[in-house]
Amino acid sequence: MNRDVGISGFAAYVPPYRVSLKDWCGWTGAPWDKTRAVVGNSFRMRGPRQSVYTMAGTAAMRLIEQYGVDPDRIGFLGLGTESSTDNSAGAVIIKGMLDDGLKARGLPPVNRYCEVPEIKHACLGAVYALKYALRYLALAENDRCAIVISADIAEYARGSSGEPTQGAGAVAILLERDPKLLEVNLRCIGSASSYRAVDFRKPVLRNLIRNQLNRHFQDLPVFNGKYSTTCYLDETLHALADMQRRLHVSPPEYYHGLGAVFMHRPYHRMPLTAFALSYLFGLAHESESGRDELDAYCRSAGLETDAVIAEMRSTPDVLRLVREGNINEEVYPLSMALLKDFRAGHVFGELIASRMSLGCEPMKDIGNVYCAALPAWMAAGLEEAAREGIELPGRDILAVGYGSGDAAEAMPMRLVEDWQEAAMRIGFMEALAPWQTLSRSQYESLHDDGEARGLEDPDNGFVVDAVGDASNTAFSDEGIEYYRFVG
């Protein structure tokens, strides 16, 4: 199997409909300082003529145009999402949209001999699609490329704890042999998965019970915040441990050699917590040098090192918390106490926060985009590094994906020579530029009914042109969306 496969480009699309979290705090009485520090500054919402497919199609069209992709080279077109509204067709919907858009541009359609899978596993669907696409390229006999699109709509009930973490958007990724941006070490990707029951789910039965299956379909999740955080931390720790085992590396040495780290980010603070905790866990599994460093942190926090190491080397049964009805229990109490003290030290700032700083500010303005969260952060961070001429401490890049339910993937990557040229084409900041800040009445109406007064239609990309309503023996298209390319 060839190993010279990886990422050659990114392109993003987010809707122009923006909700300021500072405004939202004023509407709801939530504390702005805490919301800004933990969550971010704003989030985006889909418009009345938008769906997960229109966003995905627009991002893919931008990718083709920004990188001059020959449509005839595309042999794999994958969609990673948890917001699809058709339980039969998947990425082939996007392929049809692209063919129309390409025709409008005077270009040939996507190759007829193209795989078009849709992959679903909460926020991890796009990472799984990325792995499948890389395997496709590693085995392909001709000069094909692949495109993976991550697209999602994160909606939560108004008044719920998840409301400020909403978002919508899509990111398309160009994958090739001899990549122009990032080479992915396909053999050493770490994987982990565990069934966690009520972590974060979207049962269709819930919508039937609540009678929400209507023309404004909202796939509102069932979630348990504290328990979901526990699941995220536990599964990413296991995926990272599996990756380090495959790489045959010392965790501290590997972490110190990284140029940048990107992780799934449901909100701003979560990935910082996960990466810092993984560093401390790595020390617990190290030899004498790691033990000495961990011992210093434990003494600073007033904790017994042997007890902390024993906890870090344990394998807690997280699902037990559900069975016993105690989902707020902390499964790593000593480790979390250690982390609290570790955050205040210089190592956290120099090693953890510094390697996760690229792209953080623009990510605070789009909200949680589920499958697209990790690719969006990578796109924003690499573009920032290229545009600002930032010298990274190393060429190794770590990307960690996570999907509730739950599963995680830790992907070791490496920047190729002259990666800046491809990064300069990403256009992430340009994708964020058009926005219309919503008023309270516009936000509430768009959230609850899918419509709002005074919204401006998107001026480029794909829109929903019509929804079929015929249901008879001669012709039936009830509920099927028809799309139109704008611009």
- What does the pLDDT look like over 217-267, one tens digit per residue? 788 898 898 999 999 999 999 999 999 999 999 888 899 999 999 999 988
Distance of CA 58 to the CA centre of its chain: 18
- Residue 205 pLDDT > 90: no
- Residue 365 pLDDT > 80: yes
Residue pair 3/188 in contact by the 8 Å Cβ criterion: no
Q: What pLDDT digit, counting tens, does each position of 445-467 carry?
A: 999 999 999 999 888 999 999 99
Distance of CA 132 to the CA centre of its chain: 17
- Residue 209 pLDDT > 80: no
**Which residues fall within 8 angstroms of residue 398, CB to CB, at 6 or more apart?**
258, 260, 261, 262, 410, 411, 412, 413
Task: Say yes or no: domain 5-264+358-486 is CATH 3.20.20.70.
Answer: no
- Residue 322 pLDDT > 70: yes
Q: Hey, how many other C-beta atoms are within 10 angstroms of the C-beta on 219? A: 18
Q: Is 0.85 topped by the overall pTM?
A: yes
| Average pLDDT of the residues in 332-342 | 97
Question: How many whole angstroms separate alpha carbon 307 and alpha carbon 299?
Answer: 12
| Average pLDDT of the residues in 352-356 | 93
Question: How many whole angstroms separate alpha carbon 179 and alpha carbon 160?
Answer: 43
Closest CA to 368 of 165, 126, 83: 165
Amino acid 175: pLDDT? 98
Q: Hey, how many other C-beta atoms are within 10 angstroms of the C-beta on 427? A: 19
The DSSP line for 431-470 is HHS--EEPPHHHHHHHHHHS--TTPPPPSSEEEEEEE---
In three-state secondary structure terms, 230 is: helix
